[in-house]
Amino acid sequence: HSLRKGVANGGMAQFQEMMRQQLESSMHTELEKLLDTSTGAERDVSKKDFEGFNNLFHRFLQVKGPSVEWIKIQRPPEDSIQPYDKIAARGLPDNVANSLNKLVVVKLNGGLGTSMGCKGPKSLISVRNENTFLDLTVQQIEHLNKTYNTDVPLVLMNSFNTDEDTKKILQKYTHHRVKIHTFNQSRYPRINKESLLPVASNLNMNGQNTDGWYPPGHGDIYASFYNSGLLDQLIAQGKEYIFVSNIDNLGATVDLHILHHLVSQPNGKRCEFVMEVTDKTRADVKGGTLIQYEGKLRLLEIAQVPKAHVDEFKSVSKFKIFNTNNLWISLAAIKRLQEQKAMDLEIIVNPKTLDGGQNVIQLETAVGAAIKCFDNALGINVPRSRFLPVKTTSDLLLVMSNLYSLEAGSLTMSPKREFPTTPHVKLGSSFTKVQEYLTRFESIPDMLELDHLTVSGDVTFGKNVSLKGTVIIIANHGDRIDIPAGSMLENKIVSGNLRILDH
């Protein structure tokens, strides 16, 4: 009986292995066919992309069960997440310029503004005084370069979705004191969920094929940066660290204290990777967190958590911090790990349904997941102000308001606000698209003393409205509420139908 059982088990494993090899072989054949639909440079770029994709697909087929065993998760050791105040208390050296000249700022610029109803790259949405995310970034770095007489370059990681539009816009910065480089992240084929084969029929990006491709998440930065040749170029110029962040995080400015901490470590103890984390609030329960796992600091994302433990993961008491995706990474270490093929990032399987109803999967990776591959990695618990992402028009309302002042491309919380936390703002579906949102505010309300704002339905705001405490405005279906110019609403609920008509 036991012999038969052993053969059956062995047979099962053999069968699974055979199936895997067959799937890999079919995928390989299909990718070769796709490559044959093009020639020249496009073919060469795709061939390189497909090498990365093949590696990911191979690992995807190997995966058995969750990537972490819950029982092995430990809290990070005390010294592996340092408070920002401790880092800042060391002060700055006289020659800040020396440190800055070793730095490159990299912004993740692969995303479109579709979730906010905009066409084109998200980085080109106006966020404050007609300035886009990209304008503010350029202003920040230019200000650094002028203040310290340095040469900090800006690098944009574009995707095939954003590259063309971004490059057109870059011409307007030619006279700014910032060198700007771009490189493209990979273009991977979407996989049919049933057949596990590519849905595209050729390498083109038009017609039905448009849906066949996707940029594989920001974990792709390491391979793409290395393959582009830009990594070697920057190392040759004496650059040592990159500061990576999402272009829509307006709090992610260059921090001189963190930079000084990195470059002042003795060579053997050099920290190769810093992840900025910040304290969780109820709004951040889905954010990735740092854990100790098999002796290494590691990023744990909600997608990796077994269903039975999701509530525990979301608890603010057990996992107190989350990843802001502001990262400081050694260039030499990226080069070493790429050459040793030692970047082992967990695969995120992202299911999508295409417009025609076809179910596909995208294999993605996250940039922060690489923390376990680097030596002497460190978390730094930074103030919340370094995490100011603009994902929705509710976020946009905050950064456009008098809660923040804008100086040299950086937003800082107004000293007139009594508490350092931002108000909780929830705008309803009538405000989702930027264009519609803008027509609903004649001017942005005074929000200095606001704690909470909920707006639902067909609501418009006149000029110079002031909101304080908790304000809830709900226009029921078919009703409309116009908040009159000059109104002051403090701890008010407004509902029903309110229209002020000109006499």
Q: What is the CA radius of gyration of the chain?
A: 25
**CA-wise closest residue to 159 among 198, 119, 186, 123:** 186
Name the burial class of residue 175, with classes exposed (0-12), middle (13-18) and buried (19+) by CB atoms within 10 angstroms of its CB: exposed
Give yes or no for a contact between 461 and 441, defined as CB atoms under 8 angstroms apart. yes
| Residues 366/345, Cβ–Cβ less than 8 Å | yes
Measured distance CA(76)–CA(291) in Å, rounded: 5
Q: What are phi and psi of 126, to 5 degrees?
A: -75, 130
Q: Which residues on adjacent β-strands are paired with residue 298?
A: 291
239 is catalytic: no
CA distance 191 to 24: 13
Residue ranges of the binding site for substrate: 218
353 by Cβ neighbours in 10 Å (0-12 / 13-18 / 19+) ranks as exposed
- Known binding-site residue numbers for UTP: 122, 185, 217, 248, 391
Q: Which residues are annotated as a binding site?
A: 122, 185, 217-218, 248, 391
Residue 413 amino acid letter: M
Strand-strand pairing, 188-189 and 213-214: antiparallel
Contact by Cβ (8 Å): 379, 76: yes
Q: Which two tokens stand for residue 434?
A: 């930027």
Catalytic residue among 391, 433, 468, 492: 391
Neighbouring residues of 302: CB distance < 8 A, sequence distance ≥ 6 = 286, 288, 310, 313, 314
Helix (H, G, I), strand (E, B) or coil at 367: helix
- Are 482 and 471 within 8 A, CB to CB? no
By the 10 Å C-beta count (0-12 exposed, 13-18 middle, 19+ buried), 361 is classed as middle
What are the residues facing 407 on neighbouring strands?
Answer: 410
Q: How far apart are CA 376 and CA 374, in angstroms?
A: 7
Residues whose CB is less than 8 angstroms from the CB of residue 11 and which lie 6 or more positions away in sequence, other chains included = none
- What residues are annotated to the active site? 391
